[in-house]
Amino acid sequence: MDVAAATRPLDRLADFPAIPAGWAYLDSAATAQKPRSVIDAITRGYAETYATVHRGVYQRSADMTLAFEASRRRVAAFIGAASADEIVFVRGATEGINLVAQSWGRANLLPGDRILLSTLEHHSNIVPWQMTGAPIDVVPLTADHRIDLDAMAAMIRPEHKLVALGHVSNVLGSVLDAKRAAQIAHGVGARLLLDGCQAVPRMAVDVRDLDCDFYVFSGHKLYGPTGIGVLWARPEILDSMPPWQGGGAMIDTVTFEKTTYAPPPARFEAGTPHVVGVIGLHAAIDYVESVGLDSIAAHEAALVRETRDALAGLNSVRLFGPEDSAGIVSFAIEGVHPHDIGTILDESRVAIRAGHHCAQPLMAALGVDATARASFGVYNGGQDVEALVRGIERVTRIFG
């Protein structure tokens, strides 16, 4: 198999200083490596231009505030938001979902209301909804491991006030037909939240076209820094939501008798923000768009196709997810624990994820305790697929 010849490279490996020659990094679904442009933006932010934002009257603070808000506008344009005021900076998608659950949920979920999730959700899109106390119903998967929207249409009821679904599964790589999901949810008056962590690094996202009500993603999976993420919501929804944390920056006036709150997005950004993280996120979006999301999607689709074709030829390997999964291939080897697969592959300088991937209900539905997962980024090429396949062949030889 000449995967290197069959897979057209993006030739971006040189942009990533933390990936040494001969190391196949196949864990981008957990966190993406950082290009030099993002590292440089973060370094400048701390070493040359650092100051607080929205507080100082001195020039550097004013300049950093302008850069911070320019980043908010950049994020809004990246996901098709109508206004920068629809963008709330959070620590990551986990915090974004918790914010919606604790703010919107506290204000809107009444006794008798229910929440609808799917079998493939990440724990971060399960546990926050459990914490609201609302009963949860679960949409099953199709035979090829996609969210079964026909089943969702049959089971959704007016009691379902919120539907929360993964746009792309972090385990299976299956892509949700988000527009149909929105149509089904809105048909009974429910709001739709999409977890976009695995979508925004590998496909163009337009929240208005998707017709969702909330959208969340994390910067570190988008080749940006850790500790920064985004919650987008429709402006009329944000306007109606109460704050979920109190502190500086989210207030209008404070007395010991009463506090009035700032309008969104400041209402939801209590305390000093992750200033340099926001700057790094801006640089990451610039980088991804310079490569081109269509090019990234095509590149990762080719790598997935070559990987699945190669692994399908090994009798002991079981593949999960649809044939056209987005940048992610999960698999199991008969008689071998995924942790052993990961350890042996590491000896061959191939880095994958092994475990339940923060999706234990999905593992139960698949009938396994864990899987091995290879996930791709712009820095991967056919040589990484070949290294993965050679490593898996070595695993099968070791375990007979």
C-alpha of 116 from chain center: 19
pLDDT cut 70: percent of the chain above it:
98
Residue 154, C-beta contacts closer than 8 angstroms, at least 6 positions apart: none
Q: Which tens digits make up the pLDDT trace of 70-102? A: 999 999 999 999 999 999 999 999 999 999 999
Retrieve residue 199's tokens: 């979508």
Q: Which residue has the higher pLDDT, 400 or 20?
A: 20
Q: What pLDDT is recorded for position 9? A: 60
Residue 44, C-beta contacts closer than 8 angstroms, at least 6 positions apart: none
Is pLDDT at 4 greater than 60 in this prediction? no
38-290: CATH number: 3.40.640.10
CA torsion 89-93-95-96 (nearest 10°) is 60
What is the rounded distance in angstroms from the CA atom of residue 264 to the CA atom of residue 25?
A: 39
Is pLDDT at 356 greater than 70 in this prediction? yes
The arithmetic mean of pLDDT across residues 183-188, rounded, is 98
Q: What pLDDT is recorded for position 5? A: 39
Say which residue the tokens 């062949």 belong to.
393
Q: Which tens digits make up the pLDDT trace of 260-273? A: 999 999 999 999 99
Say which residue the tokens 């592959």 belong to.
345
Q: Which tens digits make up the pLDDT trace of 199-246? A: 999 999 999 999 999 999 999 999 999 999 999 999 999 999 999 999
Q: What pLDDT is recorded for position 315? A: 87
| Identical fold between 3-34+292-398 and 38-290 | no
Is pLDDT at 8 greater than 90 in this prediction? no
What is the rounded distance in angstroms from the CA atom of residue 177 to the CA atom of residue 149?
A: 8
For β-strands 350-351 and 114-118, DSSP reports them as unpaired
Q: What pLDDT is recorded for position 249? A: 93
- Sketch the domain layout of the chain as residue ranges: 3-34+292-398, 38-290
Is 358 part of the annotated catalytic residue set? yes
Is pLDDT at 151 greater than 80 in this prediction? yes
Q: Which tens digits make up the pLDDT trace of 252-304? A: 999 999 999 999 999 999 999 999 999 999 999 999 999 999 999 999 999 99
**pTM for the whole structure:** 0.96
| Whether 333 contacts 399, CB under 8 Å | yes
C-alpha of 98 from chain center: 15
Retrieve residue 92's tokens: 């990551």
Say which residue the tokens 């209900």 belong to.
361
Q: Which tens digits make up the pLDDT trace of 24-46? A: 999 999 999 999 999 999 999 99
Residue 192, C-beta contacts closer than 8 angstroms, at least 6 positions apart: 162, 163, 164, 165, 181, 182, 185, 186, 211, 212, 213, 214
3-34+292-398: CATH number: 3.90.1150.10
Is pLDDT at 6 greater than 50 in this prediction? no
pLDDT cut 90: percent of the chain above it:
96
Active-site annotation holder among 84, 237, 249, 358: 358
Mean pLDDT of the chain: 96
74 DSSP 8-state letter? H
Give the E-state strand segments of the chain in sequence order: 24-25, 87-90, 114-118, 136-139, 160-166, 191-195, 214-218, 229-233, 251-254, 259-261, 317-320, 328-333, 350-351, 353-355, 371-375
Q: Which tens digits make up the pLDDT trace of 117-126? A: 999 999 999 9
- What are the helix and strand counts (H, E) for the chain? 14, 15
Q: Which tens digits make up the pLDDT trace of 369-390? A: 999 999 999 999 999 999 999 9
**CA–CA distances in Å: residue 352 to residues 4, 310, 323:** 19, 17, 19
